Homo-oligomer: A and B are copies of this chain.
């Protein structure tokens, strides 16, 4: 991966120690639902250096359970891990430190190369990791919003990012990138702010969730709503939270993030205890059962159930064709001028390659610049977090990082 200027191979390093910062938006934030949020706070991290032209900014957008801590190391006590699925275990290995959820992708010499780009990551609107969301204090009541928080959309998340970047004095984005729900935000940026985005990189994402994915999300939300400890969404301060329901929601999510062969390879039908079953309906007998329970238990300790509900609803609503094209995807994408790089994974059945193909085809039909790479990899939707090495050259090539080399140093 030698640069075009003969600078030699890029050195892959970490962005090092980071701390999440916060910024309060001065203006009220109007929302799709018709309501307006005031006093919106945005949690964010940045990596790399903003150049003088202010044209080297890459915005990375996280998925359902992510946060602003996308790269570098934070003290474990400050940020609990937000990697999903198998990736979560990898991060567990970094004792005492918490690596960002896309640390393998963001840093010097990496896919989003902080030697060239100023990478900005925010916690999304409705989140529970520092940005205003259902667990934040409602200025009107002095108590947490709970289910009084307005129902938000992906467009509202982008609107928040736009306002946040204004406050930072950033007008244009060299790129917007993200996986899953993060990729939806990237696509929304391309459609609604075409004059402000040079490139978008939606990974393992879609223009609209397919009915099976909608069903899984509905089941996850039902599981939370049906937990009596949800208490109509006003559980803060009661000493009870819908951890049982959210645990089940998380288990459902987990299995949809992984592929059947990945589960087969990792667990098979191995028993937890010896060679014989213990004849129990209440305790895990198989490793895969124990794994799911463990993942659920660790998730409920670090995540807010209402944020799960609101974010799941937003990604289910997301529908570029309906929202921007009267049902026609090509029409919805007509305004796009950004160069587009789509990456999908062969084993991802939640955000299948066909969805990225549809976006690609519509862009090409519109005469726009689009690249689609389907990576043959076995880990399902989780690939966007795991297959960093194989995404890196594709993204560096697309962003022309090696040619940019000297320009932004």
Which positions in A face B, CB cutoff 8 Å? Answer: 32-33, 147, 150-151, 208-212, 214-216, 218-219, 221-223, 225-228, 244-245, 247-248, 251-252, 255, 258, 260, 263-264, 266-269, 277, 279-282, 284-286, 288-289, 292-293, 296, 309-310, 313, 316-317, 319, 322, 349
26 contacts between A and B (CB under 8 A): A33-B279, A147-B281, A150-B279, A210-B263, A211-B260, A211-B268, A212-B260, A214-B269, A214-B286, A214-B288, A215-B263, A215-B288, A218-B286, A218-B288, A219-B248, A219-B251, A219-B252, A225-B281, A226-B227, A226-B245, A226-B248, A248-B248, A277-B317, A281-B309, A281-B313, A285-B317
Determine whether the beta carbon of B264 is less than 8 Å from that of A215.
no
In the complex, A284→B263 CA distance in Å? 31
For A284, list chain B residues within 8 Å (CB): 218
CB closest residue in chain B, given A230? B282
**Taking the nearest CB of chain B, how far is it from the CB of A20, in angstroms?**
26
* A212 CB contact (under 8 Å) in B248, B251, B263: B263
Determine whether the beta carbon of B269 is less than 8 Å from that of A208.
yes
Q: What is the predominant secondary structure among interface residues of chain A facing chain B?
A: helix
Known: A214-B288, A269-B322. A221 touches B281 (CB 8 A): yes
CB closest residue in chain B, given A270? B211
Determine whether the beta carbon of A248 is less than 8 Å from that of B222.
yes
**Taking the nearest CB of chain B, how far is it from the CB of A301, in angstroms?**
16
CB closest residue in chain B, given A308? B281
Give 8 A-B pairs besides A214-B286, A226-B227 with Cβ atoms closer than 8 angstroms: A210-B264, A211-B266, A211-B267, A215-B251, A215-B289, A269-B319, A269-B322, A285-B316
In the complex, A260→B252 CA distance in Å? 16
Known: A147-B281, A221-B281. A288 touches B211 (CB 8 A): yes
For A151, list chain B residues within 8 Å (CB): 279-281
**Taking the nearest CB of chain B, how far is it from the CB of A387, in angstroms?**
20
For A210, list chain B residues within 8 Å (CB): 260, 263-264
For A222, list chain B residues within 8 Å (CB): 247-248, 251, 292-293, 296
In the complex, A58→B177 CA distance in Å? 60
In the complex, A212→B261 CA distance in Å? 8
CB closest residue in chain B, given A275? B322
For A289, list chain B residues within 8 Å (CB): 214-215, 218
In the complex, A179→B50 CA distance in Å? 62
* A255 CB contact (under 8 Å) in B219, B226, B244, B264: B219
For A268, list chain B residues within 8 Å (CB): 211
